[in-house]
């Protein structure tokens, strides 16, 4: 029996699934962040292996025939190749194929069809498949120089606003008080120390504080939400002529800031509809791990030359 494994390795957690090629019984497992980047390949490999083994333990199988991993940061060919080699050495699968995490969602939203996907979670990226099948991307360049409109970008902007307000460079609003409370800080000094040890995931989680402040009417937070939505809209508009040359076609959303009923999603949709009246939105729930299994099935078919069941 052929066994497929699919993994969504993101900036906040990793989820794996084990299935046969018919997708009749799917067992899942989870682990910590599996994104790749500087000094992250070994860590990502360990988390991905853990998630897969957790899923295997819930199934009747010892290993997979094909493993497809969609990893944040895998848009860099060097990291992608390193991760493939490292995962192959774990012997959890006979064949390992690594793609970006966005490609998993693209596959799930538009199976072999043209479409644009915009993702915003810990990081951000937009990808699209054109009518010829070619995949294009915008963004996804990492938190240091990219990830505009992401949870990390929102958190970083919020942290910056604290220092600006304390130093008199901006008005102090409810947002800064909420951030102090989130960090357990009683002064700017303790908050500053907290920021120096906060990792990428912790900073990204501040997006929830920003959005809560925006819902309370905080002007600074509202401005950050609008800017995040504007950046994500720019991602879509850059892809549009490549993916939908006629100017119209389906667009899907994914990631914690867009897949749920959040202020960023609401603002993004408002801006998107103003820019593209009559836009076609894919509203179905998108499961990235299912996209990984779908790609694994296609990879299997291309290697054995047989039709999949």
Q: In the prediction, which pLDDT does 304 show?
A: 62
For 54, 110, 243, 246, 281, the CA distances from 133, given in Å and listed in that order, are 34, 11, 9, 16, 20
Examine residue 92 and state whether it is found in any structural domain, yes or no.
yes
Q: Which domain holds residue 291?
A: 3-102+287-304
Say yes or no to pLDDT of 210 above 50.
Answer: yes
Asked if residue 203 lies in contact with residue 209, where contact means CB atoms within 8 angstroms, the answer is no
Of 239 and 305, the structure prediction assigns the larger pLDDT to 239
Of 147 and 7, the structure prediction assigns the larger pLDDT to 7
Of 283 and 134, the structure prediction assigns the larger pLDDT to 134
Say yes or no to pLDDT of 306 above 70.
Answer: no
Q: In the prediction, which pLDDT does 265 show?
A: 94
Examine residue 69 and state whether it is found in any structural domain, yes or no.
yes
Q: In the prediction, which pLDDT does 77 show?
A: 87
Examine residue 226 and state whether it is found in any structural domain, yes or no.
no
What value does the mean pLDDT take over residues 296-307? 71
For 30, 182, 218, the CA distances from 172, given in Å and listed in that order, are 40, 16, 10
Per-residue burial over 93-112, b = 16 or more CB atoms within 10 Å of its CB, e = otherwise: beebbbbbbbbbbbbbbbee
> Residues near 304 by Cβ (< 8 Å), separated by ≥ 6?
none
What value does the mean pLDDT take over residues 113-136? 88
Q: In the prediction, which pLDDT does 309 show?
A: 38
**Which range is most confident: 34-43, 58-67, 227-236, 245-254?**
227-236
Examine residue 194 and state whether it is found in any structural domain, yes or no.
no
Q: In the prediction, which pLDDT does 232 show?
A: 96
Say yes or no to pLDDT of 181 above 80.
Answer: yes
Distance CA 101, CA 203 (A): 20
Reported pTM: 0.76
Q: Look over the chain and give the mean of its residue pLDDT values, rounded to a whole number.
A: 88
Say yes or no to pLDDT of 183 above 80.
Answer: yes
Q: In the prediction, which pLDDT does 71 show?
A: 92
Examine residue 77 and state whether it is found in any structural domain, yes or no.
yes
Q: In the prediction, which pLDDT does 32 show?
A: 92
Say yes or no to pLDDT of 203 above 80.
Answer: yes
Q: In the prediction, which pLDDT does 15 show?
A: 94
Examine residue 10 and state whether it is found in any structural domain, yes or no.
yes
Examine residue 166 and state whether it is found in any structural domain, yes or no.
no
What value does the mean pLDDT take over residues 89-105? 90
Of 284 and 184, the structure prediction assigns the larger pLDDT to 184
Examine residue 88 and state whether it is found in any structural domain, yes or no.
yes
Q: Are strands 124-129 and 135-139 parallel, antiparallel or unpaired?
A: antiparallel
Distance CA 291, CA 16 (A): 11
How many domains in the chain?
1
Summarised one tens digit per residue, pLDDT across range 233-281 is 999 999 999 998 877 788 988 888 987 789 999 999 999 999 988 888 8
Say yes or no to pLDDT of 191 above 60.
Answer: yes
Q: In the prediction, which pLDDT does 305 show?
A: 43
What's the CATH code of the domain at 10? 3.30.420.40
């Amino acid at each position: 029996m052929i066994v497929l494994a699919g993994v969504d390795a993101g900036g906040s957690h990793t989820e794996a699934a084990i299935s046969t090629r018919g997708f009749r019984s799917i067992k899942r497992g989870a682990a910590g962040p599996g994104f790749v980047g500087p000094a992250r390949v070994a860590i990502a490999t360990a988390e991905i292996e853990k998630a897969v083994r957790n899923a295997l333990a819930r199934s009747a199988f010892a290993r997979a025939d094909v493993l497809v991993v969609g990893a944040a940061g895998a848009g860099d060919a060097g990291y992608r190749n390193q991760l493939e080699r490292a995962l192959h050495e774990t012997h959890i699968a006979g064949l390992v194929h690594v793609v970006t995490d966005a490609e998993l969602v693209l596959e799930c939203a538009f199976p072999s069809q043209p479409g644009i996907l915009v993702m915003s979670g810990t990081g951000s990226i937009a990808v699209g498949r054109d009518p010829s099948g070619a995949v294009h991307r915008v963004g996804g360049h990492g938190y240091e120089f990219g990830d505009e409109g992401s949870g990390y970008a929102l958190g970083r902007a919020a942290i910056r606003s604290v220092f600006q307000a304390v130093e008199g460079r901006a008005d102090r609003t409810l947002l800064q008080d909420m951030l102090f409370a989130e960090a357990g800080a009683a002064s700017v000094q303790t908050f500053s120390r907290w920021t120096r040890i906060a990792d990428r995931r912790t900073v990204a989680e501040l997006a929830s504080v920003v959005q809560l402040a925006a819902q309370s009417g905080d002007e600074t937070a509202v401005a950050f939400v609008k800017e995040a939505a504007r950046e994500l809209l720019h991602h879509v508009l850059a892809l549009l002529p490549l993916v939908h040359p006629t100017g119209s076609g389906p667009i899907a959303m994914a990631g914690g800031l867009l897949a749920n009923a959040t202020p960023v999603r609401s603002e993004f949709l408002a801006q998107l509809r103003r820019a593209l009246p009559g836009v076609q939105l894919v509203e179905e729930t998108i499961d990235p791990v299912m996209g990984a299994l779908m790609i694994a099935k296609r990879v299997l078919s291309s290697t054995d030359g047989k039709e999949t069941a």
